[in-house]
């Protein structure tokens, strides 16, 4: 009798976690993947101010690729994304190596470096907008110190404005890379380093030949995350520059928002968002494939 009574309890215990997770799973399917499919359909429709569900072929993509502002946004994303990713990786690695030297107050310093990650991009963009504003920030401060000819007007300079976005993005995200690299450094076997020292290798050579190559998986993970951040960096740019001056800091995310919700061209905005999705997929899918293949090979 005890075995019969325990069977329903066991089946209920197995079913309960699935019932708890089911609503979240259904909501994710509908409101994430469902709307992704809806957006894909709208990109092939003739939607303008309001969505329509007719089939118009690739006309929206043809308009998108014929739009000069789209190519400006794409170039800005390549420039911003390239600098943002490279500087974050290099600066994060340098900070991780610095903290790995068992310095005093490591916990406090690590917290300071990681603190920007606790802020949203809206807060980061607003703060750096004040700092870089020629009338309020660095330029005014230096001039009040007596250097009247000092100029730092990147925020309002069409040629340099994109670099202010890089500065703000690096300030927020380099601490994240530092944390990943530091965890990787702490995971390297000390016996390998000791053996290299016994063979007469210097620390710079050990870092170059042994430690940094051993962080390859960490760099790859950081690259995936940073690329994703760069592609969807809408809130940082809106808060910092608003896409300006002119279109100097316009990126695909701001382009999509402007055409979808300001200019009443939902179909064109949907096509732009699908191009962003494909850019993310081009990075995420190979990564997932390599991870699944690696696990399959291990088994």
Supply the DSSP string of 267-295, one letter for each residue: HHHHHHHHHHHHHHHHHHHHHHHHHHHHH
Judge whether residue 126 has pLDDT over 70: yes
> Would you say residue 165 lies in a domain?
yes
How far apart (Å, rounded) are the C-alpha atoms in residues 81 and 162? 10
pLDDT value of position 282:
85
Query: What is the mean predicted confidence (pLDDT) over 186-198?
Result: 83
In the chain, the number of structural domains is: 1
CATH number at residue 215: 1.10.3720.10
> Would you say residue 131 lies in a domain?
yes
The larger pLDDT score, comparing residue 104 to residue 278, is at 278
Judge whether residue 173 has pLDDT over 70: yes
> Would you say residue 44 lies in a domain?
no
Judge whether residue 209 has pLDDT over 90: no
Tokens matching residue 263: 């200019």
Judge whether residue 1 has pLDDT over 70: no
Read off the pLDDT band of 188 (50, 70, 90). confident
Least confident of 25-34, 88-97, 158-167, 174-183: 25-34
pLDDT value of position 255:
94
> Would you say residue 38 lies in a domain?
no
How far apart (Å, rounded) are the C-alpha atoms in residues 258 and 56? 22
pLDDT value of position 257:
92
> Would you say residue 184 lies in a domain?
yes
Q: Which domain holds residue 85?
A: 68-298
> Would you say residue 181 lies in a domain?
yes
Judge whether residue 13 has pLDDT over 80: no
Whose CA is closest to 76, among 222, 224, 241?
A: 241
> Would you say residue 150 lies in a domain?
yes
Read off the pLDDT band of 7 (50, 70, 90). low
> Would you say residue 51 lies in a domain?
no
């Amino acid at each position: 009798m005890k075995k019969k009574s325990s069977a329903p309890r066991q089946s209920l215990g197995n079913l309960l976690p699935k019932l708890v997770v089911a609503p979240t799973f259904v909501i994710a399917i509908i409101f994430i993947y469902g709307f992704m499919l809806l957006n894909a359909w709208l990109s092939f429709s003739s939607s303008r101010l309001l969505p329509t569900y007719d089939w118009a072929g690739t006309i929206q993509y043809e308009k998108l690729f014929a739009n000069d502002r789209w190519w400006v946004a794409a170039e800005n994303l390549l420039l911003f994304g390239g600098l943002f990713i490279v500087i974050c990786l290099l600066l994060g690695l340098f900070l991780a190596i610095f903290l790995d030297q068992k310095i005093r107050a490591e916990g406090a310093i690590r917290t300071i470096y990681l603190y920007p990650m606790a802020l949203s991009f809206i807060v980061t963009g607003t703060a750096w907008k004040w700092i870089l504003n020629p009338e309020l920030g660095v330029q005014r401060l230096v001039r009040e110190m007596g250097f009247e000819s000092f100029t730092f007007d990147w925020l309002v300079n069409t040629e340099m404005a994109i670099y202010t976005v890089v500065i703000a993005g690096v300030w927020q995200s380099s601490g994240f890379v530092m944390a990943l690299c530091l965890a990787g450094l702490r995971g390297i076997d000390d016996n390998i380093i000791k053996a290299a020292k016994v063979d007469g290798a210097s620390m710079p050579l050990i870092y170059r030949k042994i430690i940094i190559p051993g962080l390859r998986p960490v760099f790859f993970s950081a690259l995936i995350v940073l690329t994703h951040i760069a592609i969807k960096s809408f809130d940082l740019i809106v808060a910092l520059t608003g896409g300006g001056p002119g279109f100097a800091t316009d990126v695909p995310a701001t382009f999509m928002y402007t055409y979808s919700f300001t200019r009443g061209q939902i179909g064109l905005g949907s096509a732009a968002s699908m191009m962003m999705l494909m850019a993310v997929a081009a990075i995420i899918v190979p990564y997932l494939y390599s991870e699944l293949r690696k696990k399959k090979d291990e088994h």
